[in-house]
Structure 1
Amino acid sequence: MKSVFEIAYRYLIPAIRREIVKMLIRRGFMEIEIARLLNISHSLVSRYLSGERGYNIDLSRYRDVMEKIERVVDRIAKKDIDFYQIYEEIDRIALYALSNRYLCSTHKAIEPYIDISKCNICSNLFSQQKVIGLISII
């Protein structure tokens, strides 16, 4: 079975970044400017926009996730967030999505033998209380 971290890295993080790129384009940002802000290649920005990258998960199904992404984009547009904070927020959104089991169907599509009704790995690992508890253990 693939690790939840691999699923997040290969599918969820690119989907979040794709939504950020699309929202910034709608706000009038140029592709090259977006590449600089997110510290990614101009080519990757183009692939996000063309649907070649970050397309496996339709985040628009999750209004709460889209609102969180929109808030990050608001801060980017206001220049109220630096590069490190952008990626911290992307990771927070990813943790939120994982804790709410939003990737279960994607994981099932990748590995059909998984019984998502029995799997609680993400919700167990990434619920806010569990994360705080894990941090206090370390």
Structure 2
Amino acid sequence: MNESYMGTSEQLCRLKVLIVEDDFINMEFLVEILRLYVAELFRATNGQEAIDMTLNQSSSIDLILMDIKMPFMDGFEATNTIRQHGLNIPIIAQTAYATEFDKKRILQAGFDGYISKPIDEKLLIQTILNVL
């Protein structure tokens, strides 16, 4: 574990995180980072899978990292649907859309946090801690 996050390990080590990402390389990158910090990782490759997993395991998932641009159903629609079911699981958008306008739009759409790609490990961990 990265020494700079040793003090946060208690807070993170119990987390069960759903990563929603359609790109294999991005998924594996996030898994490699998060497996060092969290208790369990779930994977979904599109918004519909994320909804299904969240509704079926809502008591098990503590945090969702949601890609914005995905096939079949994007992150906006998936997040909106999750929120319509009354689930208040923190959802962090992870996206290549990096302008201030994009960030504002994402946060207004019901996401609890935002991180732009390429993902920086320290910023990711800090963003997770900020939304918990």
Instruction: Answer yes or no: same fold by TM over 0.5.
Output: no
Please identify the structure whose Cα radius of gyration is greater: 1
TM-score between the two structures when normalised by the length of structure 2? 0.29
TM-score between the two structures when normalised by the length of structure 1? 0.28
User: As a proportion of its length, which structure holds more helix?
Assistant: 1
